[in-house]
Amino acid sequence: MTQRTEEQYLDQLMQIEFAVLGFFDDHPELTDAVVDSAYEELAKRYRAEATAHEYKPGKLDGLRLELHDTLLPLAEMLVGRPDNVMPYAPVSAQAMQDVFKRLRVSIKRWGKVGGRQAYLNFIGGQLGGLELDGLDED
């Protein structure tokens, strides 16, 4: 994913990372490896859709499955299903696959820095004080 593409899908990237942070708040034992597994499975799902192939679910369990099941409804909204309720245009299945691939690259990059939660700590530091437009609670 090029820098331009990353900027193009910044809203989608941030929405997903905010959801992961919320999950992390509830599950402090969450690790980057678990997040990577959930992202990988979601990328696989949208790759199958983008290439008109049958999606064959992987074997997720525990926190991996719980995180996947938390992110899937959000990802579906981002591609415009069941109907577009987001404040911006839906993206294609290919774009959603690219988003999850980009997020996996970030996990790998931060994993090299060190720690089982390096990516989670990074996104917490970057997004922790931000609020999503229209989604903040008053």
Q: Give the start-to-end residue ranges of the domains of the chain.
A: 3-127
Compare 127 and 53 and report the one with higher pLDDT: 53
The model's pTM: 0.86
Which of 122, 90, 89 minimizes the C-alpha distance to 105? 122
Q: Are 107 and 32 in contact (CB under 8 A)?
A: yes
pLDDT of the residue at 2: 52
pLDDT for the residue 55:
93
CA distances from 58 to 45, 46, 77, 122 (A): 10, 13, 22, 27
pLDDT tens digit sequence for 48-65: 999 999 999 999 999 999
Q: Are 103 and 39 a contacting pair, CB within 8 Å?
A: yes
Give the distance from CA 60 to its chain's centroid: 16
Residues 110-125: b if buried by 16+ CB within 10 A, e if exposed: bbeeeeebbbbbbbbe
Instruction: Band the pLDDT of 27: cuts 50, 70, 90.
Output: very high
Report the alpha-carbon distance of residue 9 to residue 99 in Å, rounded. 7
Amino acid at 21: L
CB atoms within 10 A of CB 86: 16
